[in-house]
Structures are given as structure tokens and as C-alpha cells.
């Protein structure tokens, strides 16, 4: 009997080729997320699943797949999977950490610079024919060099963002619940969350979505920010009280924000779209050819290793 793997979305071809050398590969043919009924149907005969962070792999999905031995998430985060239930069923769960660190850190910096210097707003201004010549008060933004960068979550991506700040002569404040307070060997200052939010000029989020981090930046936390603060989220939408943040941006109680993630993707609140002091991206933190290919190759190697009874590159459970 062939060993079957189902892919919920098409991934870069090198990873498909690698999988095809070991599995019978079936792929969702549509340029959209797989629908639940389609997923349940395909998993009846699947031995392995390669899914995306947009796919909900809950108890019902797992129960529909009697042959399933591994769930390979093509993402670092895995809050879309009921890992505890998969573990109970003896199903391996894998993810793709590390390979998207630098691309996501680059994107966080793209948002920092776009917000600080009003890049998107200025581009729109020019395209609409409003530019009539240099003006001394036109599109004034804020400096990045010499400012204080606050990083919430100092995992791989948070540290990569912090390293990039050296070229801007910035002071780095970092919050991580399992790191001691004080200065690190890199010169970063580990502080409590309230201190970071009060003192940082730019705040960048890099925590996974867990029960502990859901809504960790709520209304009370947002009120601690400076009026001049810039807020960046490339982590997960539900880490922040989106409604409270919109209110703060609308009333200009904080200066600007950059988003790559939202609470109920792909829905983006119209109130957010209407604001000129925000930059909105369609969840493209890892969206480079090199990184997405590396992610898919890791996911493929995870699946193959499970069926070869080898240690996969990254197993969660």
C-alpha cells in the first residue's frame, strides 16, 4: 500500500519533488485555503499531513484520519493544531523554526522604517498627484537612529531584530518571562513589560500565541505607551487587543503602527484600513523565495524522517 501525504496548499516545487520521492502526494488544487469538508475527505486515506498555519487541525480533523502518523505544519507557530490530542493519538507534530528568522526580522524592520518615515503614506501622496515640490514641513516622520527599541519576546526572531538595531545606534529593551532582568552580554537590557512599554520609542512583538500571551498587550498596557510610540506586530494578531489599539491610533495617543498579522485573518477591520498612520501587510513575514522554500523543505524532511523512524529536524511533541 502506498504511503500517502496530503498538502493543504501548494508549496515550492523542490519540496514537492522531495516528497514525491517517498510519498504518493495529493495537493489541494485550489488557490485558497482547503475547506473543512475537503480536508476531512482527503485525510481518510492519508498517512501524513503537510498543513499551513491557516488550517485548523482540531480533534474532529484528527479523528477523521485513522492512518495519520504525522502532522507537519509549514510554519513556526502551531496554535492551529490540537497538539495534546495528536500526542494522545500517537501522531507526531512538527513545525519549521529557525529558517524564517531572518526574513521575519527583515520585515519587522521594514515596518519600523515605513512607519517612522511615513513611507506608504508618502508613496500614496505622490501617486495621487499631490507632490508639488519640496516643503519644509512635508511628511515629517521620526528618527530611528539613537532611539529606544523595545522587543517583546526574545526568541530567535526577537534576537534577530535586536541585532539589526546596532547599526542604528539604538538602546534595546527586552522582555522575556524566562530571562533574568538586567543587561545581557549583547548589551540588551532585560526589563519588565511595563517598563519596556513606558520607555520604548518603538515596540516590536515577537511572542508565540499561547493562552498566556493571548491579549497580553491589552488596553491597560497600551495606555503606558508614549504618544510618539510606534507599535509593530509581526507575531500573532490575538496577542494584542486590536480594538483598543485602533482606538489609540485613531485618537493619536500613539503615533503609528505596522501590522503583518490580525486577529481574524484575512479580515482586517475597516477602522484600521481607514487610518493613515498605519502600515498594513498581508501576513508576509516569511514571504521570500528563499525562506518559503527552506520552510517547505524542512516540513518535507520532517514528514520523511517520521516514516523512516528517524529524528525529524523539528518535532514538537
> Looking at the annotation, which residues are catalytic?
236, 265, 283
The kind and range of the H/E element at 202 are: strand 202-205
The rounded distance, in Å, linking the Cα atoms of 142 and 98 is: 32
Torsion angle of C-alpha atoms 36, 37, 40, 41, degrees rounded to 10: -150
Range 139-163 burial, b when 16+ CB lie within 10 A, else e: eebbebeebbbbbbbbbbbbbbbbe
DSSP 44-98: TT-SEEEE-TTS-B-HHHHHT-TT--EEEESSS--TTB-HHHHHHTT-EEE---S
CA distances from 229 to 156, 158, 203, 306 (A): 24, 18, 7, 46
Amino acid at each position: 500500500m502506498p504511503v500517502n501525504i496530503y498538502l493543504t496548499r501548494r508549496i515550492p516545487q523542490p519540496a514537492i519533488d522531495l516528497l514525491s520521492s517517498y510519498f504518493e502526494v495529493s495537493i489541494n488544487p485550489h488557490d485558497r485555503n482547503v475547506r473543512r469538508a475537503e480536508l476531512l475527505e482527503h485525510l481518510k486515506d492519508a498517512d501524513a499531513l503537510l498543513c499551513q498555519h491557516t488550517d485548523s487541525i482540531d480533534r474532529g480533523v484528527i479523528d477523521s484520519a485513522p492512518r495519520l502518523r504525522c502532522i507537519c505544519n509549514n510554519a513556526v507557530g502551531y496554535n492551529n493544531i490540537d497538539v495534546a490530542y495528536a500526542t494522545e493519538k500517537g501522531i507526531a507534530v512538527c513545525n519549521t523554526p529557525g529558517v524564517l528568522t531572518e526574513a521575519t526580522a527583515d520585515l519587522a524592520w521594514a515596518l519600523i522604517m515605513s512607519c517612522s518615515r511615513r513611507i506608504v503614506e508618502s508613496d500614496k501622496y505622490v501617486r495621487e498627484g499631490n507632490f508639488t515640490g519640496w516643503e519644509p514641513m512635508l511628511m515629517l516622520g521620526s528618527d530611528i537612529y539613537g532611539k529606544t527599541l523595545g522587543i517583546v519576546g526574545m526568541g530567535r526572531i526577537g534576537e534577530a531584530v535586536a541585532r539589526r538595531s546596532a547599526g542604528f545606534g539604538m538602546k534595546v529593551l527586552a522582555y522575556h518571562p524566562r530571562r533574568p532582568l538586567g543587561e545581557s552580554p549583547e548589551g540588551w537590557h532585560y526589563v519588565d513589560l511595563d517598563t519596556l512599554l513606558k520607555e520604548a520609542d518603538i515596540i516590536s512583538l515577537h511572542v508565540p500565541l499561547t493562552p498566556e500571551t493571548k491579549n497580553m498587550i491589552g488596553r491597560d498596557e497600551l495606555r503606558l505607551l508614549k504618544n510618539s510610540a510606534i507599535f509593530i506586530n509581526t507575531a500573532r494578531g490575538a496577542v494584542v487587543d486590536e480594538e483598543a489599539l485602533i482606538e489609540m491610533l485613531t485618537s493619536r495617543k500613539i503615533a503609528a503602527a505596522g501590522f503583518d498579522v490580525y486577529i481574524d485573518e484575512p479580515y482586517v477591520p475597516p477602522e484600521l484600513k481607514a487610518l493613515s498612520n498605519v502600515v498594513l501587510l498581508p501576513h508576509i513575514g516569511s514571504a521570500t523565495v528563499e525562506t518559503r522554500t527552506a520552510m517547505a523543505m524542512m516540513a518535507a524532511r520532517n514528514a520523511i524522517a517520521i516514516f523512516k523512524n528517524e529524528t525529524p529536524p523539528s518535532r514538537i511533541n
